[in-house]
Amino acid sequence: MKKLLLLITTLTFGLLLSACGGESNTVKFGVIGPLTGDYSVYGVAVENGAKLAAEELNAAGGVLDKDLEIIAYDSKGDPTEGVNAYNRLRDQDEIDALIGGTFSGVTLAIKDLAVSDNMPVLTPTATHPDVTPNADNIFRACYTDSYQGSTAAVFTADSLGKTNVAVMYNKDDAYSEGLAQAFMDEYDARGLSYTEYEFGSQDDDYSAQLTSIKDEGHDAVFLPAYVAEVGAVLTQAKSLGLDVPFIGGDGWDGIEADYADVAEGFYFANHYAKTDEAAAVQDFVTNYTEAFGEAPNALAALAYDAVYALAEAFEQADSVDSDAVVEALANLEYNNAVTGTITFDAIGNPIKTITIIKVVDGEHVVETKVDAS
Amino acid sequence: MELFINQLINGLNTGSIYALVAIGYTMVYGIIKLINFAHGEIMMFGAYFAFVFAYMIPWNLPFILIIIISMILAAIMGMLIERIAYKKLRKAPRISALITAIGMSLFLQNLALLIFGASYKRMRPLVSTEPVHLFGFNISKLTLITIGLSVFFMMVLTFFIHKTKPGKAMRAVSQDKGAAILMGINIDNIISLTFAIGSALGALGGIFYAMAYSQIYPTLGVMPGLKAFIAAVFGGIGNITGAMVGGYLIGIIETMTKAYISKQWVDAIVFGLLILILLFKPSGLLGKSTKEKV
Q: Is residue B148 part of a domain?
A: yes
Per residue in B229-279, pLDDT (tens digit) is 999 998 888 888 899 999 999 999 999 998 888 877 888 888 888 888 888
Q: Does B1 touch chain A (CB under 8 A)?
A: no
Of B122, B129, B142, nearest to A259 by CB-CB distance is B122
Can you tell me the mean pLDDT for A324-338?
89
Nearest CB partner across the interface for B131, out of A205, A241, A259: A241
| Cross-chain CB nearest to B10 (options A40, A211, A228) | A211
The reply to whether B56 falls in a domain is yes
Residue B139 lies inside a defined structural domain of this protein: yes
pLDDT of residue A180: 94
Is there a domain that residue B60 lies in? yes
CATH number assigned to the domain comprising residue B29: 1.10.3470
Distance CA A278, CA A237 (A): 35
* Nearest C-alpha neighbor of A33 from the set A303, A257, A358: A303
* Averaged pLDDT for residues B137-158: 87
Decide if B138 and A197 are in contact by the 8 Å CB cutoff.
no
pLDDT digits (tens, 9 = 90+) for A49-89: 999 999 999 999 889 999 999 999 999 888 999 999 999 99
Query: Between A and B, how many residue pairs show a Cβ–Cβ distance under 8 A?
Result: 81
**Residue A61: CB partners within 8 Å, gap ≥ 6?**
none
Which pLDDT score is estimated for A22? 43
Checking DSSP bridges between strand A333-334 and strand A342-343, what pairing results, if any? Answer: antiparallel
Say if residue B131's pLDDT is above 80.
no
CA distances from A272 to A163, A182, A330, B259 (A): 27, 21, 23, 37
Contacts of A41 in chain B (CB under 8 A): 119
Higher pLDDT, A32 or A127: A32
How do the residues of chain A divide into helix, strand and coil, expressed in percent and rounded to 5?
A: 50, 20, 35
B119 contact A CB<8A: yes
Average pLDDT, chain B: 89
Looking at residue A314, its amino acid is F
Q: Which chain A residues are within 8 Å of B259, Cβ to Cβ?
A: 208-209, 211-212
pLDDT for res A20:
46
Dist. CA A306–CA A312, nearest whole Å: 10
Structure confidence at residue B76 (pLDDT): 97
pLDDT in tens, B173-191: 988 888 999 999 999 999 9
| Structural domain boundaries, residue B16 | 2-280
Mean pLDDT over B11-30 rounds to 93
Residue A276: strand, helix, or coil: coil
Number of domains in chain B: 1
pLDDT at residue number A11: 54
pLDDT per residue as tens digits for the range B152-177: 988 999 999 999 999 999 999 988 88
A236/B contact by beta carbon, under 8 A:
yes
Query: Mean pLDDT across the stretch A23-52?
Result: 88
pLDDT tens digits for range A163-207: 999 999 998 888 899 899 999 999 999 999 999 999 988 888 898
ipTM above 0.85 for this complex: no
On average, the pLDDT of chain A sits at 88
Tell me whether A37 touches chain B (CB under 8 Å).
yes
Position A238 confidence tier, pLDDT thresholds 50, 70, 90 = confident
What local confidence, expressed as pLDDT, does residue A4 receive?
59
Compare CB distances from A208 to B140, B214, B258 and report the shortest one's residue. B258
d(CA B200, CA B211): 17
Helix, coil or strand: residue B122 = strand
More reliable by pLDDT, A284 or B128: A284
Q: What are phi and psi of B161, to 5 degrees?
A: -65, -40
3 state DSSP class of A100: coil
Task: Tell whether pTM > 0.80.
Answer: no
Query: What's the rounded mean pLDDT across residues B68-77?
Result: 96
Residue B286 domain-assigned (yes or no): no
Statement: residue B48 has pLDDT above 50: yes
Per the domain annotation, does B33 fall within a domain? Answer: yes
C-beta of residue A200 within 8 angstroms of C-beta of residue A172: yes
Rounded to an integer, what distance in angstroms lies between the CA atom of residue B258 and that of residue B268? 12
Q: Does B117 touch chain A (CB under 8 A)?
A: no
- Contact between B215 and A200 using a beta-carbon 8 Å cutoff: no
Whether residue A280 is predicted with pLDDT greater than 90 in this model: the reply is no
Give the pLDDT of residue A370: 80
Residues of B in contact with A166 (CB under 8 A): none
- H-helix segments, chain A: 2-20, 40-59, 79-91, 104-117, 145-154, 174-190, 207-216, 227-239, 255-263, 279-292, 298-317, 322-330
Helix (H, G, I), strand (E, B) or coil at A356: strand
pLDDT value at residue A7: 57
Q: Any CB–CB contact under 8 A between B259 and chain A?
A: yes
Query: Residue B289 falls within a domain, yes or no?
Result: no
Q: Is residue B38 part of a domain?
A: yes
What does DSSP assign to residue B292? Answer: P
pLDDT for the residue numbered A80: 92
